[in-house]
Each structure stands twice: as structure tokens, then as C-alpha cells.
Structure 1
Amino acid sequence: MQDVRDFAALAANEPALEVGAGTGKATFDFARCGVPVTCVEPDVRMARVLGRRCAQLPGGGVTIEVADFETWRPRRRYGLLYCAQAWHWVDPAVRWDRARCALVPGGAIALFWNHWFLQCGELADRLTAAHARHGVEVPPDTLLDPRPRPARRGPEARQWRDMTAAGFVEPDHRLYLSAHERSPSALIDLVNSYGGYRALPAGPRERVLNEMAHLVAEHGGRAQVKVVTSLFLGRTPPTAAG
């Protein structure tokens, strides 16, 4: 993401640190731009997928470390720490201290989330009704959650308040809008990526996902979705010792 790179103003070949890299959706955006990335990913299976995908990148600019960020010890400090869709999984009791310790004085932190919404209200209603038929509540903060997301913005947002309370300066909150089209299988892949769905019992989850795919197919085989990307930026004080 160009705005993150501009905010961080990394020197040539200065590496960035990614927390919770998963299978590398955000990793590739940085690595393809020539930024060396150290990825900390606690899930061994995801790290293996990430490693296979990164092997396709020229230059070997991605280093993968399988570890929990809460206990991982960096061998150096970084000019940028970023986290896509995963910061809320890191223990709030230690995550900000760990971030400060991993960053150089004046180093940037970038935390971002995608919030997905169905453009068609009729399709959203049909998919929501499918949940009710299978005795499944729509998990919060997911595609069909009717509540506004992000719920708070700027200084009113929890991420902003937590960041500044932890000593980060120059806070900023930026929103980006985009639109996508999803096939039935692609929409189910998106739904499956939510922790709230993965936590459901396997039987009801599979039944509701199968019906959702069927309903999207009936709808013309495509679901139009809107994405609001919420980006929080900050940095350690220039004289911080960590």
C-alpha cells in the first residue's frame, strides 16, 4: 500500500516487519515493491503456504519466522511494522509494548482491516434468512452484519485511543473505498476467512455455506461487494528507546 510506504519513508533496502502474515496477501504488496519483509506467523500451515508463494518472488526478500508475536524476539529493529486483518488477535496486554520494542525511534506502525458489504440488499436478506433456517446467527463484524463498520473513526476509534495511550505519535486514520465482484466460491472463501464462521460447529457451518453458494448462483452467479479499508497509522517518538 503506497500510503503506508510513504508514511514510513523507509530507506533503500530497509526491511519491514509483518505481524500475522497469514498466506501473504499483504506481504506481496510490499515485497513486489522491493521492500524486504520479515513475516511473523504463528500458524505453521499458513507459514508453509506463505513460504511456497514467496518462493516465486525474485530476490528472496521475504523471511518467515513461525512464532507468536507476543513471544517472538526480533534480532534487529524495523522502520515499519504493519499488520493486515490480524492485530485484534494479538494479546492486547502486550501487543503495543512488543510493537515499540520492534521499531526504531520514529518507526511507523500501520494497522489495517477490510470491511466487506454486499451491494444488493435483496441478496443480503436472502443470505441472512439462510442463516436463520439453519439455526446460525450471523457472526459480528462479518459480511452480513448490518451494523456500520468501522463503528468509530479517528480519535473515537479504539485503535487510535490504544495507540496514543501506548505512546505512539502522529496518529492518522484513513478510509479507502473499492468494489469487487465475487463468484459463489469466492464469496464463500471470503466468508470462511472470518474467525466468527470458523468458530461455528462444522455441520451447521457447512450447511449454511452451501446454501449461501446456491443462493449466489441463483442470483446470477455474481455478488457485488463494497470494501471499506480502514488504515491506522502512527509512529514511535523520534527519541524513543523502546
Structure 2
Amino acid sequence: MRLSKRKAHLRKAGFKKGTASPKKGQTVAFPTVSDNKYVRLEKKAFESRVHTSNNVLTFKDTDGTDTTVSALRPRPNASNVVDEYSGCGDESLHPDVCTYKLMVQAKVQALFNSAFKKHRHDKPNCEGDLNFDAANSVRWGLRWRKRLKCTKCSYMSDYHNLYEEVENRKSPGRRAAKVNIGLQLGLWTTPISNTGVRRIFNNANIIAPNQAAMQRLSNKVNEKIQSVNIRDMHELLLKKMP
């Protein structure tokens, strides 16, 4: 039987039984395929990294650049021990109402007494309660500026400063609060940093001041303390001189 040219070529060039393979003892490296890992971000992380533009989701990487990663549906935010003990418990209340705040009691009394009298005079038939307008409160560090609003009518009181100001008539603009200055003076004499005291406030369910603002005020207080120390040293040296 005559073989075709193809079969005859295969018999000559193909692998023959009993002969060793030329690849014997050699390892073949196959390209590794990385396993795809799908992670659902928490809602806070999802909102900070995924942006919507013209109904198109754009995923931002940690350095701010756009990536081609497909964003999955976010999962709920993880609750920690602080959230469990600092929760308001009543969804009808503003979250800020359920936190602790540093206020001067005399200032709070003046706010409520003034608001009660004005509300009774303007709305004599209203039976609503006067509550803090938490959504429109103003905060600078640990100091608060608040007003009251009625739960039934449209009455809103005037804003009141619930803190004491530092007497400084030389500099224009808003005067500093004693509580913010006192906090920086206390931190200056202790090994606790601004970051550390913010952690203490947050664990105590007290709204902590902004860290950048605390640092700016800390720099000003340190400059004042340094100038006072230099002046005291000069006065001491002048007293010791004959």
C-alpha cells in the first residue's frame, strides 16, 4: 500500500515510539492568570471614590486618577463600638441633638428665656415646643452659635453665642472663644496632641473641632507663649544685672 506524501512525512518527522522527548527534564512556565477579586466598598468609601457624570459612573483611584474598575453596589457602613454607644436611637431627631456640647449655662438660659417670651408674644395660641435648630447651628472649634425653632409654627429665634469671647479689641473680625484658647493652653502643658484630644472627644460623643483649625490656633497660641517667655526672661535678666 502506497502512503501519501503527508503520512510519509509524518512518519519521518513525527515522534517515534521508544525515543526520548527533546523536552524531557525541562519545565514549561505557563503565564499566571491573576484571580479577580471583587470587593464591595462601604457606602462612605463608595461615595468618595465613585462619581456620576452624565449617568456614567467614574471610579477614582486613591491618587485621584480615573480607572476602568467596575464599581459594585456599595454595602452598608460598618458600625463600631463608638457608633453603638453614640447612636441617637430616635430617627426623628437630628443626629447633632444627641451629642454632648460645651456651652455656657448662663448663655443657654438667656437664649431660652428670650425665645420663650418672644414666641409667646408673637404666637400666643401656638402650643409647639421650642427646640434647637440643629441643622442650622454654627460651630467654630468647641464654641457654638445656636437658635431655637418651634415644632408647629414658623417661629425661629435670634442666634445666640453660647460661649465667652476673649477680650481683644486690636484685631478686626470675629473674636476667639475662651474655650478654644483654653484647650490649646491645656494641650501645650500636656503630652496629648490635637489628634489625641480629637479621639477623646469622638469617643465621648462630643463633636470634635476640625484638625486643621486646631493646628492654626495652636500655632498662634504657641507664638504668644513663646513671646511671653522671652519677655519674662529679659525682665529676669534685667533684675539680676547690677
Smaller-chain TM-score bracket: under 0.3
Structure 2-normalised TM-score? Answer: 0.26
Of structures 1 and 2, the one scoring higher in RCO (CA 8 A, sep 6+) is 1
Larger-gyration structure (1/2):
2
